[in-house]
Amino acid sequence: MRKILKEDKEKIRQELTVAKQQAKNSLGKVDYTISISQVRSLADNFRLSPREIEILALREGIVPERYQRNLGVFSLEEQIKLRQSKVAIIGSGGLGGTVLELLARVGIGKLVIIDKDVIVESNLNRQIIARETNLGKQKVKAALKRIKEINSSIQVKAYATFVNADNVKELVKGTDVVVDALDNLPSRFIIQEACRGLKIPLVHGAIAGFNGQLMTIFPEDKGLELIYGNRNDLPEKGSETKLGSPTVTPAIIATLEAQEVIKILLKRGNLFRNRLLYLDLENGTIDTLELVNSY
Protein backbone atom coordinates (compact mmCIF):
# COMPACT_ATOMS: atom_id res chain seq x y z
CA MET A 1 0.00 0.00 0.00
CA ARG A 2 1.16 3.52 -0.75
CA LYS A 3 0.61 6.76 1.11
CA ILE A 4 -2.55 8.54 -0.03
CA LEU A 5 -1.64 11.94 -1.43
CA LYS A 6 -3.80 14.98 -0.66
CA GLU A 7 -4.68 15.47 -4.33
CA ASP A 8 -5.62 11.80 -4.64
CA LYS A 9 -7.94 12.09 -1.66
CA GLU A 10 -9.78 14.92 -3.38
CA LYS A 11 -10.06 12.92 -6.60
CA ILE A 12 -11.34 9.93 -4.65
CA ARG A 13 -13.93 12.13 -2.91
CA GLN A 14 -15.14 13.28 -6.30
CA GLU A 15 -15.34 9.70 -7.56
CA LEU A 16 -17.18 8.63 -4.42
CA THR A 17 -19.71 11.40 -4.97
CA VAL A 18 -20.37 10.01 -8.43
CA ALA A 19 -20.46 6.42 -7.23
CA LYS A 20 -22.75 6.81 -4.24
CA GLN A 21 -26.25 5.38 -4.41
CA GLN A 22 -29.28 6.13 -2.27
CA ALA A 23 -30.56 3.26 -0.15
CA LYS A 24 -32.45 2.71 3.07
CA ASN A 25 -30.81 1.13 6.08
CA SER A 26 -32.40 -1.35 8.47
CA LEU A 27 -34.02 1.54 10.37
CA GLY A 28 -35.65 2.92 7.25
CA LYS A 29 -33.37 5.94 7.06
CA VAL A 30 -31.86 7.03 3.76
CA ASP A 31 -28.13 6.36 3.45
CA TYR A 32 -25.62 6.68 0.66
CA THR A 33 -24.02 3.36 -0.23
CA ILE A 34 -21.28 2.01 -2.46
CA SER A 35 -21.11 -1.49 -3.93
CA ILE A 36 -18.28 -4.02 -3.84
CA SER A 37 -17.62 -3.54 -7.57
CA GLN A 38 -17.41 0.23 -7.14
CA VAL A 39 -14.99 -0.14 -4.24
CA ARG A 40 -12.79 -2.48 -6.29
CA SER A 41 -12.83 -0.14 -9.28
CA LEU A 42 -11.73 2.82 -7.17
CA ALA A 43 -9.05 0.71 -5.47
CA ASP A 44 -7.64 -0.30 -8.87
CA ASN A 45 -7.78 3.22 -10.28
CA PHE A 46 -5.93 4.77 -7.35
CA ARG A 47 -3.67 1.81 -6.51
CA LEU A 48 -5.10 1.53 -3.00
CA SER A 49 -6.53 -1.40 -1.08
CA PRO A 50 -10.33 -1.90 -1.01
CA ARG A 51 -10.12 -1.47 2.77
CA GLU A 52 -8.66 2.02 2.34
CA ILE A 53 -11.39 2.96 -0.13
CA GLU A 54 -14.05 1.70 2.28
CA ILE A 55 -12.62 3.80 5.11
CA LEU A 56 -12.51 6.90 2.90
CA ALA A 57 -16.11 6.25 1.84
CA LEU A 58 -17.28 5.89 5.43
CA ARG A 59 -15.59 9.19 6.31
CA GLU A 60 -17.64 10.79 3.55
CA GLY A 61 -20.84 9.32 4.95
CA ILE A 62 -21.03 6.65 2.22
CA VAL A 63 -21.59 3.12 3.51
CA PRO A 64 -20.21 0.06 1.73
CA GLU A 65 -23.32 -2.00 1.05
CA ARG A 66 -21.81 -5.05 2.74
CA TYR A 67 -21.94 -3.15 6.07
CA GLN A 68 -25.30 -1.45 5.59
CA ARG A 69 -27.09 -3.77 8.03
CA ASN A 70 -24.50 -2.92 10.68
CA LEU A 71 -25.92 0.60 10.89
CA GLY A 72 -28.15 1.21 13.87
CA VAL A 73 -25.93 -1.05 15.95
CA PHE A 74 -22.72 0.70 14.86
CA SER A 75 -22.21 4.32 13.92
CA LEU A 76 -20.16 5.28 10.89
CA GLU A 77 -17.28 6.13 13.21
CA GLU A 78 -17.50 2.72 14.86
CA GLN A 79 -17.52 0.94 11.51
CA ILE A 80 -14.40 2.90 10.59
CA LYS A 81 -12.81 1.77 13.86
CA LEU A 82 -13.56 -1.86 13.02
CA ARG A 83 -12.06 -1.41 9.53
CA GLN A 84 -8.90 0.01 11.13
CA SER A 85 -8.54 -2.76 13.72
CA LYS A 86 -6.34 -5.84 13.72
CA VAL A 87 -7.23 -9.07 15.53
CA ALA A 88 -5.30 -12.33 15.93
CA ILE A 89 -7.14 -15.64 16.26
CA ILE A 90 -5.05 -18.52 17.55
CA GLY A 91 -6.68 -21.72 16.38
CA SER A 92 -9.00 -22.04 13.39
CA GLY A 93 -11.06 -25.07 14.40
CA GLY A 94 -14.49 -25.20 16.02
CA LEU A 95 -14.03 -21.95 17.91
CA GLY A 96 -11.52 -20.12 15.75
CA GLY A 97 -13.12 -20.80 12.38
CA THR A 98 -16.43 -19.32 13.49
CA VAL A 99 -14.75 -16.35 15.19
CA LEU A 100 -12.89 -15.67 11.95
CA GLU A 101 -16.05 -15.79 9.89
CA LEU A 102 -17.98 -13.47 12.18
CA LEU A 103 -15.17 -10.92 12.40
CA ALA A 104 -14.74 -11.00 8.62
CA ARG A 105 -18.44 -10.37 8.07
CA VAL A 106 -18.60 -7.51 10.58
CA GLY A 107 -15.66 -5.83 8.85
CA ILE A 108 -12.52 -6.14 10.98
CA GLY A 109 -9.82 -4.66 8.76
CA LYS A 110 -6.92 -7.02 9.44
CA LEU A 111 -6.92 -10.59 10.68
CA VAL A 112 -4.10 -12.89 11.75
CA ILE A 113 -4.77 -16.66 11.69
CA ILE A 114 -2.46 -19.09 13.48
CA ASP A 115 -2.92 -22.87 13.32
CA LYS A 116 -0.67 -25.79 12.39
CA ASP A 117 -3.35 -28.48 11.99
CA VAL A 118 -4.85 -29.96 8.84
CA ILE A 119 -8.53 -30.70 8.27
CA VAL A 120 -9.60 -34.25 9.13
CA GLU A 121 -12.95 -36.02 8.97
CA SER A 122 -13.64 -35.62 12.70
CA ASN A 123 -13.67 -31.83 12.16
CA LEU A 124 -16.71 -31.97 9.88
CA ASN A 125 -19.26 -32.02 12.70
CA ARG A 126 -18.44 -28.53 14.01
CA GLN A 127 -15.68 -26.66 12.18
CA ILE A 128 -17.13 -24.16 9.74
CA ILE A 129 -14.11 -24.23 7.44
CA ALA A 130 -14.08 -28.04 7.18
CA ARG A 131 -15.63 -29.62 4.09
CA GLU A 132 -15.32 -32.99 2.44
CA THR A 133 -13.57 -31.27 -0.46
CA ASN A 134 -10.71 -29.85 1.63
CA LEU A 135 -9.84 -32.82 3.84
CA GLY A 136 -6.10 -33.05 4.38
CA LYS A 137 -5.51 -29.37 3.66
CA GLN A 138 -4.02 -26.92 6.13
CA LYS A 139 -6.67 -25.21 8.21
CA VAL A 140 -5.15 -21.76 7.79
CA LYS A 141 -5.23 -22.08 4.01
CA ALA A 142 -8.84 -23.20 4.07
CA ALA A 143 -9.69 -20.37 6.47
CA LEU A 144 -7.88 -17.84 4.29
CA LYS A 145 -9.81 -18.97 1.21
CA ARG A 146 -13.14 -18.76 3.02
CA ILE A 147 -12.45 -15.28 4.39
CA LYS A 148 -11.46 -13.98 0.96
CA GLU A 149 -14.70 -15.38 -0.47
CA ILE A 150 -16.69 -13.58 2.24
CA ASN A 151 -14.84 -10.27 2.42
CA SER A 152 -12.03 -9.71 -0.07
CA SER A 153 -11.29 -6.25 1.38
CA ILE A 154 -9.84 -7.74 4.58
CA GLN A 155 -6.09 -8.05 4.90
CA VAL A 156 -5.21 -11.50 6.23
CA LYS A 157 -1.97 -13.07 7.42
CA ALA A 158 -2.00 -16.83 7.91
CA TYR A 159 0.66 -18.75 9.83
CA ALA A 160 0.73 -22.55 9.65
CA THR A 161 2.51 -23.05 12.95
CA PHE A 162 1.94 -23.94 16.57
CA VAL A 163 2.36 -21.12 19.06
CA ASN A 164 5.08 -21.46 21.64
CA ALA A 165 6.96 -19.23 24.05
CA ASP A 166 9.54 -18.42 21.38
CA ASN A 167 7.27 -17.32 18.53
CA VAL A 168 4.00 -16.09 20.01
CA LYS A 169 5.01 -12.47 20.63
CA GLU A 170 6.26 -12.05 17.09
CA LEU A 171 3.04 -13.57 15.71
CA VAL A 172 0.59 -11.35 17.61
CA LYS A 173 2.49 -8.09 18.06
CA GLY A 174 0.73 -5.06 16.62
CA THR A 175 -2.74 -6.54 17.07
CA ASP A 176 -5.51 -4.87 19.05
CA VAL A 177 -7.03 -8.07 20.47
CA VAL A 178 -6.02 -11.74 20.59
CA VAL A 179 -8.57 -14.56 20.61
CA ASP A 180 -7.81 -17.84 22.38
CA ALA A 181 -9.46 -20.58 20.28
CA LEU A 182 -7.16 -23.40 21.36
CA ASP A 183 -7.81 -26.83 22.83
CA ASN A 184 -4.88 -27.24 25.22
CA LEU A 185 -4.19 -25.55 28.51
CA PRO A 186 -0.42 -24.96 28.46
CA SER A 187 -0.64 -23.02 25.19
CA ARG A 188 -3.41 -20.86 26.60
CA PHE A 189 -1.09 -19.73 29.40
CA ILE A 190 1.71 -19.06 26.92
CA ILE A 191 -0.61 -16.79 24.94
CA GLN A 192 -1.77 -15.02 28.08
CA GLU A 193 1.81 -14.33 29.13
CA ALA A 194 2.63 -12.90 25.72
CA CYS A 195 -0.45 -10.69 25.73
CA ARG A 196 0.48 -9.37 29.16
CA GLY A 197 3.93 -8.46 27.93
CA LEU A 198 2.58 -6.78 24.79
CA LYS A 199 -0.32 -5.07 26.63
CA ILE A 200 -2.95 -6.71 24.41
CA PRO A 201 -6.40 -7.84 25.65
CA LEU A 202 -7.11 -11.57 25.33
CA VAL A 203 -10.50 -13.20 24.82
CA HIS A 204 -10.62 -16.75 26.21
CA GLY A 205 -13.13 -19.38 25.19
CA ALA A 206 -13.33 -23.11 25.84
CA ILE A 207 -15.83 -25.92 25.41
CA ALA A 208 -16.41 -29.45 26.69
CA GLY A 209 -19.49 -31.36 25.57
CA PHE A 210 -22.53 -29.14 26.00
CA ASN A 211 -20.62 -26.87 28.39
CA GLY A 212 -18.78 -23.72 27.40
CA GLN A 213 -17.01 -20.81 29.05
CA LEU A 214 -15.85 -17.32 28.20
CA MET A 215 -13.67 -14.68 29.84
CA THR A 216 -11.93 -11.52 28.69
CA ILE A 217 -8.48 -10.88 30.13
CA PHE A 218 -6.73 -7.52 30.10
CA PRO A 219 -2.95 -7.39 30.70
CA GLU A 220 -3.39 -6.29 34.32
CA ASP A 221 -5.96 -9.00 35.14
CA LYS A 222 -5.20 -12.24 36.96
CA GLY A 223 -6.86 -14.16 34.15
CA LEU A 224 -6.58 -17.89 33.55
CA GLU A 225 -5.11 -18.51 36.99
CA LEU A 226 -8.52 -17.66 38.44
CA ILE A 227 -10.04 -20.54 36.48
CA TYR A 228 -7.32 -23.18 36.41
CA GLY A 229 -5.04 -22.36 39.33
CA ASN A 230 -1.28 -22.81 39.12
CA ARG A 231 -0.15 -23.34 35.53
CA ASN A 232 2.47 -25.86 36.67
CA ASP A 233 -0.27 -28.28 37.75
CA LEU A 234 -2.15 -28.27 34.45
CA PRO A 235 -2.93 -31.31 32.31
CA GLU A 236 -2.25 -31.04 28.57
CA LYS A 237 -5.94 -31.22 27.68
CA GLY A 238 -9.15 -30.21 29.42
CA SER A 239 -12.37 -32.20 29.88
CA GLU A 240 -13.33 -31.86 26.21
CA THR A 241 -11.28 -34.99 25.51
CA LYS A 242 -13.86 -37.00 27.49
CA LEU A 243 -17.03 -35.00 26.86
CA GLY A 244 -16.49 -34.42 23.15
CA SER A 245 -17.09 -31.40 20.93
CA PRO A 246 -20.65 -31.38 19.60
CA THR A 247 -21.83 -29.12 16.80
CA VAL A 248 -23.60 -26.34 18.67
CA THR A 249 -21.33 -25.58 21.64
CA PRO A 250 -18.31 -24.10 19.80
CA ALA A 251 -20.60 -22.03 17.57
CA ILE A 252 -22.20 -20.36 20.59
CA ILE A 253 -18.96 -19.72 22.47
CA ALA A 254 -17.28 -18.45 19.29
CA THR A 255 -20.13 -16.00 18.77
CA LEU A 256 -19.66 -14.70 22.30
CA GLU A 257 -15.91 -14.41 21.75
CA ALA A 258 -16.46 -12.37 18.59
CA GLN A 259 -18.84 -10.10 20.48
CA GLU A 260 -16.26 -9.54 23.22
CA VAL A 261 -13.73 -8.57 20.53
CA ILE A 262 -16.14 -6.01 19.10
CA LYS A 263 -16.88 -4.58 22.55
CA ILE A 264 -13.17 -4.23 23.31
CA LEU A 265 -12.44 -2.49 20.00
CA LEU A 266 -15.36 -0.08 20.32
CA LYS A 267 -14.94 0.45 24.07
CA ARG A 268 -18.60 -0.19 24.74
CA GLY A 269 -20.70 -2.66 26.70
CA ASN A 270 -19.87 -4.70 29.76
CA LEU A 271 -16.94 -7.08 29.31
CA PHE A 272 -16.49 -10.42 31.07
CA ARG A 273 -13.41 -9.31 32.97
CA ASN A 274 -12.59 -11.11 36.22
CA ARG A 275 -15.76 -13.12 35.80
CA LEU A 276 -16.50 -16.32 33.94
CA LEU A 277 -19.52 -16.82 31.72
CA TYR A 278 -20.42 -20.50 32.00
CA LEU A 279 -23.04 -22.18 29.81
CA ASP A 280 -24.64 -25.58 30.31
CA LEU A 281 -26.61 -25.95 27.08
CA GLU A 282 -28.09 -29.34 27.94
CA ASN A 283 -29.70 -28.10 31.15
CA GLY A 284 -30.37 -24.62 29.82
CA THR A 285 -28.40 -22.69 32.43
CA ILE A 286 -26.21 -19.63 32.02
CA ASP A 287 -24.13 -18.52 34.99
CA THR A 288 -21.76 -15.62 35.53
CA LEU A 289 -19.16 -16.44 38.14
CA GLU A 290 -17.32 -13.61 39.88
CA LEU A 291 -13.70 -14.75 40.16
CA VAL A 292 -11.38 -13.94 43.04
CA ASN A 293 -7.83 -14.95 43.81
CA SER A 294 -8.22 -17.84 46.22
CA TYR A 295 -4.76 -19.41 46.20
The pLDDT value recorded for residue 165 is 96
C-alpha closest to that of 88 among 279, 265, 277, 238: 265
Mapping DSSP onto H, E and C, the string for 16-31 reads: HHHHCEEEECCCCCEE
- Give me the domains of the chain, ranges plus CATH numbers: 6-80 (no CATH), 85-290 (3.40.50.720)
Instruction: Tell me the CA distances in angstroms from 24 to 28, 71, 115, 156, 278, one per residue in order.
Output: 5, 10, 40, 31, 39
Q: Is the dihedral of CA 186, 223, 207, 143 positive or negative?
A: negative
The pLDDT value recorded for residue 295 is 43
Q: Cα–Cα distance between 74 and 79 in angstroms, integer? A: 6
Whether the Cβ atoms of residue 112 and residue 89 lie closer than 8 Å to each other: yes
Instruction: Tell me the CA distances in angstroms from 8 to 54, 55, 59, 231, one per residue in order.
Output: 15, 14, 15, 54
Catalogue the E-assigned strands of the chain: 21-24, 30-34, 62-64, 86-90, 110-114, 155-159, 177-180, 202-208, 211-217, 275-280, 285-290
C-alpha closest to that of 258 among 23, 75, 82, 56: 82
Number of C-beta neighbours around residue 147 at 10 A = 22
Q: Which pLDDT tens digits describe the chain residue by residue (295 residues)?
A: 556 767 788 899 899 988 888 877 767 777 899 999 999 999 999 999 999 999 999 999 999 999 999 998 999 999 999 999 999 999 999 999 999 999 999 999 999 999 999 999 999 999 999 999 999 999 999 999 999 999 999 999 999 999 999 999 999 999 999 999 999 899 999 999 999 999 999 999 999 999 999 999 999 999 999 998 887 777 666 666 677 899 999 999 999 999 999 999 999 999 999 999 999 999 999 999 999 764 4
Could you give phi then psi for residue 213, rounded to 5 degrees? -140, 160
The pLDDT value recorded for residue 5 is 66
Q: Cα–Cα distance between 65 and 80 in angstroms, integer? A: 14
Our CA angle for 195, 199, 202, nearest 5°, is 45
Q: Cα–Cα distance between 145 and 162 in angstroms, integer? A: 20
Q: Cα–Cα distance between 32 and 41 in angstroms, integer? A: 18
The pLDDT value recorded for residue 8 is 80
Q: Cα–Cα distance between 226 and 109 in angstroms, integer? A: 32
Report, in this order, helix, strand and coil percent for the chain, each rounded to 5: 45, 20, 35
The pLDDT value recorded for residue 238 is 61
Q: What is the DSSP letter of 74?
A: B
